[in-house]
Structures are given as C-alpha cells and as structure tokens.
Amino acid sequence: MSDPKFTPRVFSGIQPSGNLHLGNYLGALKRFVDMQDQGAFETVYCMVDLHAITVWQEPRDLRHATRELCAGFIAAGIDPERSILINQSQVPEHAQLAWVFNCVARMGWMGRMTQWKEKSGRNAEAASLGLFAYPSLMAADILVYHATHVPVGEDQKQHLELTRDIAAKFNHDYGVDFFPLTEPVIEGAATRVMSLRDGSRKMSKSDPSDQSRINMSDDADTIARKIRRARTDSEPLPSEARGLEHRPEARNLVNIYAALADRPVDRVLAEFGGRPFSEFKPQLADLAVARLAPISAEMARLMDNEDEIDRILSRGAARAREITAPVLRATYDIIGMVGPKRI
Ligand code: TYM
C-alpha cells in the first residue's frame, strides 16, 4: 500500500534511442495511457534523453528520436493536457537530484545491477560513468515528483527496487520521512514481450535482427510478415494457460494477443485452444495491424509539425517544474545546502 501522505502520482519514462517497439508499447506505453485514463493519479511521462546519452547518440538522431517518441506518446493516447509530458533535460531538477543520490547510493549497489552488467559487457572500464550511475538518475526521475507508482516492464524491476533503497537510505540517513517508497506497477499479459525469433530473449531495440521485433513504425505488410515468420513449435495451441509452461514462443504470441485485445490469456486460449498456428498467426497479425497502424499513422502526422511537439515539451517542462523545484529545494534544505528559505 502506498503512503497516504503522498499524492497518488505516476511517473514513467522511455529512452529516445532507436525505434519504439511492441515491447515498449505493451509493457509500458499502453499502460501509461490506461493509468492516465483511470483518472486516479496525476501522471507524468518522460522521454529520458539524459539516460539515452549513457551510450553514444548522434546529436541529430537523438533530437529526432526525442520528438518521434513524443509523437508516439501522443499518438498512443497520452493527452498533454491531462498528463505532464516532458523530456528529461528540460527539467533540470532530475539531474540535480541525481547528483545528491550519487552521494547516497553505494558503488556496490550499482555494480549489482544486471542491466549494467549486460550493457557494460566484458569491457566495463570503457563504459561511461553515466552508464554506471544510470539507476541513480532513474531514482531521481521518480522521486523528484514524489511519485507513488511507476508502471514499467519486468526488466526495470531491479532498478525500481534500487529506487526504494535510495529513498529509504536518504530518509534514514537524514532522519526524515521525505521520499516515498514507490510501488512498481508491473501488470498485464505483456510485462515481458519476447523476441519473435527466440522465445528466451527479450524483444529489444538492440537486437541486431529486425525480424525479432515489431516496430511501431512498421507498415501492415511488415507486421504481418514478421508474425507469419515468428518462431513457434509444431503443436496446436493449448486450451489452458498451464499448457504454455514449456512453450516460450507459443506463450509469447498468446500474451501479445491477450495484451493487444485487452483480454485475459484464459479467454484467448478458450477461443484458440486446439487450433494450429497457421490459423492463429493471421488473426494475431490482423489484430496487431488494427491496433498499431493508426498509432504509426498518427505519429507520422504529428512529426510533420515539429514546432508543435517542441511547444508541448516546453509547456510540459514548465508544469513539471512547479512540482520538481520545491522538492529539490526541500531536499537541499534537508541536507544542509544554504539557499532561499523554504516556502
Ligand atoms: P526503456 O527505454 O528500455 O524501455 C521503456 C519501457 O518499455 C519496457 N520494455 C518492455 N516491456 C515488455 N517487454 C519488453 N520486451 C520490453 N522492452 C522494454 C521497459 O520495461 C520500460 O518500462 N530505464 C528505463 C527508462 C527510465 C524510467 C525512469 C522508467 C528512466 N527513468 C523512471 C521508469 C521510471 C528504460 O531504459 O526503459
């Protein structure tokens, strides 16, 4: 349960590095829209451009990817009036609080992060310092809003546990009850969408094979072809979820169908159980195209007016700073920085 002392507030972010794919959409973006539409939370959604540069980004590509991601958020249903929509670098309090958290978090905590180990690979010495400190900035993103809930895919779970550790250590070290212990919200059928080529690997923008993922920018034919060629086994679909246990590729396609159709897995299997993939795949392709094509068409339309996107992001930043500036000021005050009096 979240602490009633804090306003129910959702924060989440996506990196503007490369294309949005179906995993980002089902694991994150679609759920951002649901939480906005529930109306029970204030919602803040962010393009985390400062996180993106922890690995090299061509400046021109980064600028384009940030605007395109913003278009993706809006096309998927985020309303920049009802939600606060920002790019991280325009709200300087994220980076400022991250510095404080760099001094709260321990090197050992960062070193244990699986994403750090995966991304730094065998040559950690050559990785950027920013990549190592990545989770500290992520904790700052969340806590600078005193966010209570963070919708993410499964792969971000460890970072959210670290966010709670940072909040708890800060509160403990300074003897305050200032930062909330944020709840991860990892729910739904598609919290871990897998590669279409290999059911043991996550769908990811860094996979060298474009056949492994469905990009939000893929056209209808490409989506249908990727689904038709998706790896499966030769058995028909089972009638119950239990039957998917040792069939990762089958489970992945069923989960994708369930998430796109907003239906529980059991109901999908009640309909398709006993039928072969040659019947299921075309239906899945039709559903994916019906859901994704309008989003990518709207993204393209919004990208025709980059000035409007930039205006949305600067308005978002101004609204965000009404929340973040007082939280940063109060944090500085707690830790002993001399500055203007708290209001
Ligand atoms: P990023 O940009 O890698 O991914 C954005 C979101 O998409 C989810 N996701 C998936 N979900 C299901 N199946 C998949 N195959 C899949 N791939 C990605 C991710 O879990 C994520 O929710 N560190 C974050 C960005 C971030 C952030 C934050 C998130 C920065 N600050 C604060 C929440 C709160 C990241 O790299 O996500």
Tens digits of residue pLDDT in 291-306:
999 999 999 999 999 9
Closest-lying ligand 1 atom to the alpha carbon of residue 48: 30
Token digits of residue 247: 């069939």
Q: Which of 57-66, 88-97, 149-158, 211-220 has the lowest mean pLDDT?
A: 211-220
Whole-number Cα distances in Å, 26 to 34, 119, 226, 288? 11, 23, 17, 11
Cβ(87) – ligand 1 distance below 6 Å: no
Ligand 1 centroid – CA 326 distance (Å): 27
CATH number at residue 311: 3.40.50.620
pLDDT over 90 at 19, yes or no: no
Question: Which structural domain range is residue 74 located in?
Answer: 9-192+305-335
Average pLDDT over all residues of the chain: 96
Beta bridge partners of 87: 47
Please give the positions annotated as active site: 119, 202, 205
On whether both 123 and 262 belong to a single domain, the answer is no
pTM: 0.96
Nearest to 270 by CA among 300, 238, 298, 242: 238
Cβ(162) – ligand 1 distance below 6 Å: no
On whether both 149 and 253 belong to a single domain, the answer is no
pLDDT over 60 at 343, yes or no: no
CATH number at residue 239: 1.10.240.10
Token digits of residue 224: 């249908």
Ligand 1 centroid – CA 92 distance (Å): 21
3 in any annotated domain:
no
| Domains contained in the chain, number | 2
Nearest CA to ligand 1 atom 17: 23
Residue 231 confidence (pLDDT): 96
* CA 175 to mean position of chain CA atoms: 32
d(CA 312, CA 46): 12
Interval 96-122 mean pLDDT: 96
Q: Give per-residue pLDDT as tens, 129-170.
A: 999 999 999 999 999 999 999 999 999 999 999 999 999 999
Over the chain, what HEC string results? CCCCCCCCEEEEEECCCCCCEHHHHHHHHHHHHHHHHHCCCEEEEEECHHHHCCCCCCHHHHHHHHHHHHHHHHHHCCCCCCCEEEEHHHCCHHHHHHHHHHHHCCHHHHHCCHHHHHHHCCCHHHCCHHHHHHHHHHHHHHHCCCCCEEECCHHHHHHHHHHHHHHHHHHHHHCCCCCCCCEEECCCCCCCCECCCCCCCECCCCCCCHHHCCECCCCHHHHHHHHHCCCCCCCCCCCCHHHHCCCHHHHHHHHHHHHHHCCCHHHHHHHHCCCCHHHHHHHHHHHHHHHHHHHHHHHHHHHCCHHHHHHHHHHHHHHHHHHHHHHHHHHHHHHCCCCCCCC
Nearest CA to ligand 1 atom 20: 153
On whether both 24 and 167 belong to a single domain, the answer is yes
On whether both 235 and 143 belong to a single domain, the answer is no
* Residue where the block lists tokens 């050559």: 126
Residue 4 confidence (pLDDT): 79
Interval 45-69 mean pLDDT: 97
On whether both 320 and 182 belong to a single domain, the answer is yes
Q: Which of 24, 66, 131 to mutate to test the pocket of ligand 1 (most atoms within 8 A of CB)?
A: 24
d(CA 13, CA 150): 9
202 in any annotated domain:
no
198 in any annotated domain:
no
Ligand 1 centroid – CA 10 distance (Å): 14
Torsion angles phi and psi, residue 198, rounded to 5: -155, 105
